[in-house]
Structure 1
Amino acid sequence: MKKQINTFLYYCMGLLLMANCGESNGKTPTPTPLAPELISSSPANGATNVLVGDLAIELTYDKNIIAPSAGHSQISIANATVTSVSASLTKATIQVSGLKKEKTYTLTIPKGVILGPAKVEAPAVSISFTTIAEQHITASLVINNPSPQAINLYNFLKENYGKKIISGTMANASWNTNEADWVYKHTGKYPALNGFDYINLYGTWESYNTTVVENWWNNKGIVTACWHWNVPCSQGSTNYAFYTKTGEHASDGTDFDISKAVIDGTYENGIVKANLQKIADKLLLLKQKNIPILWRPLHEAAGGWFWWGAKGADPCKALWEMMFNYFQERELNNLIWIWTAEPNDIVGSVNTWYPGDEYVDIIGRDIYNQTKAGSMLAEYNKLKNLYPEKIITLSEFGNVAGITEQWNAGATWSWMMPWYDYNRTNNTSSSNYDSTDHQYANIQYWNSVFANPNVITRDQMPSLK
């Protein structure tokens, strides 16, 4: 018996030695790599309010992947088009186009189209999402008998709202296309919109000749105009200002009282009426050239830094109505009226400053130093909720999140217009004009804007005549 036990022990030891020798000789079978697993997608499965038009769907896996071109044709999305497929490291990107509002789409990727390490096939993937709902924008303009060109422009804005964003620049200080020309000089593209300002209306050195505006319009550009409305700093003064006597403008601002400006017979009322007649005469010159204007007066009123917002909401709204009714009398039917909203518009839960839907076509917002796309989206959504039947636009900005980042987040502004950099573009012959730096939106920013297929440039504009 003892001999049999010893024999059995020796046999077991031999098996162990053979096993160890097998390991040392590298003969252990190599385990088969696991298939890549999907971790997340953007948009997520079941997502809602996805933007329409073109969309990049991103799939993130738990390991590196490839997507051989042989399988691209197997990827499908009903009622839309897959335009390209790519993979890098752990991400696959599927570009689709033709997405429409209020539709549910399902992206389908069969098993084996995506491959992991050692070409192990990834499981089939199905991602469903729903696009944003139709927004029912007010059908017609608020002015009486709008000009055909104003109607064409408004219809163009409506048709593209939520699908495309119009690029724009602001004149340097007043009445030129210096900023637009600077963008073209460094990128080879013109923005589609140019802003002008009647800031020097009170003086005699600015003729407001229509030629520069005509040239822009004749090249299929869109025209917008604002009015930094200069009034005497005090009664009888030869100095003019639009800022109130507060903060840094305590010594050079104006004490002009808007609450008196809307009362017949006052000194302030006489100034306002004379100014309204003067600017109406200038705007009529553009009407005679059949040029529609995105008209943005009394902007940023609730901020309180301009005299037209210094005495609260009621006199500001009264001045807006006075201007609107007078311009109607002058038959300025080429204007599309824009109210520039401020956070202070809302007092308690009441939209106190808003002139009313019967006086406003479009809602603008001027935003500076908001570098996060989420913050810009929050601003956009506030306005969209307040004004569900109005087009919402980024009427002025500086140093904000990239347009692509904003757009992808859901901030689908109608147009975008950075403010001008005086020192950069005031003199188009100076060496400053050759620099790509900018106080509010440098050329790197503009290159990113123009790389976005949802951005409209001037060369893409139809004739709106």
Structure 2
Amino acid sequence: MKKNLFSTKLFLIISFALLSFSCKDDDEVTGTQRYKEPPVLLSSIPATGGTVSFTDNTIRLIFDREVTVVNLGMVSINNAIISGSSVSGDTLTFTLDGLDEKTPYTLTITKGAIKGVPGLLNQEDITLSFNTGEAPALTKTLAMPNASAQANNVFNFLLENYRNKIISGSMAKVNWNTDEADRVYRWTGKYPAINTFDFVHLYASPTNWIDYSNTTVAENWWNNKGLISIMWHWNVLIEGTSNFGFYYTGKNNGEGETSFDITKAVQDGTDENKIIKADLDKVATHLLALQAKGIPVIWRPLHEAAGGWFWWGAKDANSYKALWILMFETFKAKGINNLIWVWTTETNDNSWYPGDAYVDIIGRDIYNKKDAAAIYKEYLSIRKTYPNKMVTLSECGNVANISQQWSANAKWSWYMPWYDYNATDESEHSHATKVFWTDAFASDKVITRDQMPSLK
């Protein structure tokens, strides 16, 4: 009996050992042994030698197993380190912010950058070469119906030069003047091609220091082949005072702040609605006066809305868009057809965009950014978001030189430094120094006023 019991125990021990060895062997075949090699790239989107859409900025790599990125600093695109990645199972996705159109690229995953899960690090560099496609065609018809011949001439000129050359621009020093452009001329011997004015003192005009009905300065600029741009810091009455302001309450240390409510302003019949309609009528009169003299206007109202510091952007995107469209439709009903409409993005604010039917050009205002590569990334991001529209540096100050931006491929339609109210020819300009302008005008890619054709 004991002998049989011993035999039975011995049999069970041997059987269990054999079973354990068998299971281990199976596991090596189906599990651990299978992953004694590095992860294998099975396919990619795009395929090697393929093309990725200009508006797409993702590259997907499919491996034979789940992978993880061990060191993102060892992954590059045309020798530039990639900023972000994500993994979903066997698919590794890279988001690439800097892909320009019609450009060859090589993605390189350096040896040891990724690891199979389970498994080893990649033992050799993994490379993927591809090209980007052409950007979608630009819209070549102005948003405003029955656009004037002069407006079409200017728009076509902008289209012809876009990404081939950049047009120089200057900003009026608060009032209806060319003071900044005159300083640039004294510094360089040349005028910027564009002068931008501002209806900021609409509430005071006409008076002895500002009268927008006197269009002489704009006429002279246009007759000298310059382009006219106008923006509008829209002042409204500050509650309980006789003062005007355009900053929203809490956005400018109490100076020039108003609690004027845009949500009420776009509701028919409210007091706020009556105020904005009266102002629109007044602005329309001045725009029609320019139109009667054959002068087109690059029109940039309601700028920097999503930033929230102006009353027109203090509430919500829908109210803002309603105000933009109200302005557009009001001007259309009055027969205004000399405008090229520029909408200013704050980036990542597409919900604030009035829509392609109401916008001709996308602007971006950039300050205090000396890194041309970072500026290029902003430019390219806007191009990808609004691929059918030209993109312009509608305001700037203390930024990388135009030659540096152009070399970095930030090929704006035009650029316009902000004014410095206290600057003199000898003092250092806070936004665009003599060195900045000299550098710009030394480039054969920059268009100055003397190089402009007649667009009448």
TM-score, L = length of structure 1: 0.68
Q: Deviations over 1:8-40 (max 9, x none)?
A: xxxxxxxxxxxxxxxxxxxxxxxxxxxxxxxxx
Tell me how far 1:273 sits from its aligned partner: 0.6
Q: Report if the CA contact (8 A) 2:166-2:414 is conserved.
A: yes
Name the counterpart of 1:260. 264
Matching of residues 408-419 of structure 1 within 5 Å: 408-419=407-418
Is 2:443 aligned against 1:455?
no
Q: Are 2:347 and 2:382, in contact at CA under 8 Å, matched by a contact in 1? A: no
Q: 1:451 to 1:357 in 2, by over 3 A?
A: same
The 8 Å contact of residues 193 and 224 in structure 1, kept in 2 or not, is answered as yes
What are the Cα deviations for residues 123-162 of structure 1, in whole angstroms up to 9, with x where unaligned?
Answer: xxxxxx9998465110200111000000000000000001
Matched, 1:444 2:435: yes
Q: Which amino acid aligns with 2:312?
A: W
Whether the 8 Å CA contact 2:383–2:391 is kept in 1: the answer is: yes
CA change 1:447–1:315 in 2 (3 A) is: same
CA deviation vs aligned residue, 1:427-450 (integer Å, no higher than 9, x gap): xxxxx3x31520101111100001
Per the alignment, residue 16 of structure 1 pairs with none
Residues 415/132 of structure 1: CA separation in 2 closer, same or farther (3 Å cut): farther
Higher mean C-alpha deviation, range 134-143 or range 410-419: 134-143
Of 277, 290, 302, the residue aligned with 1:273 is 277
Match runs of 1:127-138 below 5 Å: 133=134, 135-138=136-139
* Closer/same/farther in 2, CA of residues 103 and 354 from structure 1, 3 Å limit: closer
Specify whether residues 307 and 453 from structure 1 end up closer, same or farther in structure 2 by C-alpha distance, changes over 3 A only: same
Cα offset, 1:297, TM superposition: 0.3
Instruction: Give 1:249 shift.
Output: 3.2
Structure 1 CA distance for aligned equivalents of residues 271 and 345 of structure 2: 29
Q: How many Å apart are 1:245 and its aligned residue? A: 1.1
User: Corresponding residue for 2:173?
Assistant: 172
Identity %: 57
- The equivalent of 2:356 in structure 1 is 357
Aligned residues: 330
Per-residue CA distance 1:227-275 (angstroms, 9 max, x = gap) = 00000111x5311000011143335400000000001111100100100
Q: Which residue of 2 aligns with 1:161?
A: 162
Mapped pair 1:342 → 2:346 = yes
Q: CA RMSD in A?
A: 2.1
Q: Structure 1 counterpart of 2:361, which letter?
A: I
Equivalent residue, structure 2, for 1:211:
216
> Which runs of no fewer than 5 residues in structure 1 stay unpaired?
1-45, 50-100, 105-128, 346-350, 425-431
Question: Could you tell me how far apart the structure 2 residues matched to 1:174 and 1:302 are?
Answer: 26
Alignment partner of 1:241 is 2:245: yes
Answer yes or no: is 1:308 the counterpart of 2:312: yes
After superposition, the Cα gap between the structure-2 partners of 1:247 and 1:325, relative to the gap in structure 1 and judged at 3 Å, is: closer
Q: Which residue of 2 aligns with 1:9?
A: none
Aligned partner of residue 420 in structure 1, secondary structure: coil
Query: Gapped runs of 5+ residues in structure 2?
Result: 1-48, 53-100, 105-129
> Which amino acid is the alignment partner of residue 279 of structure 1?
V
Please list the CA deviations of residues 411-432 of structure 1 after superposition, one character each: whole Å capped at 9, or x if unmatched: 10000000000012xxxxxxx3
From the superposition, tell whether residues 247 and 318 of structure 1 become closer, same or farther in structure 2 (CA, over 3 Å). Answer: closer
Paired AA for residue 165 in structure 2: K
SS class of match (1:175): coil
Instruction: Give the whole-Å Cα distance in 1 for the aligned partners of 2:403 and 2:204.
Output: 40
Q: In the aligned structure 2, how far is the partner of 1:248 from the partner of 1:256?
A: 15
Native 8 Å contact 2:246 2:256 kept in 1 = no
Asked whether the 8 Å contact 2:238–2:260 carries over to 1, the reply is yes
1:132 & 1:163 partners in 2: Cα distance? 18
Structure 2 residue 216 is the aligned partner of structure 1 residue 225: no
The answer as to whether partners of 2:199 and 2:231 remain within 8 angstroms in 1 is yes
What does residue 142 of structure 1 align with? Answer: 143
Distance 1:207 1:249 in 2: 29
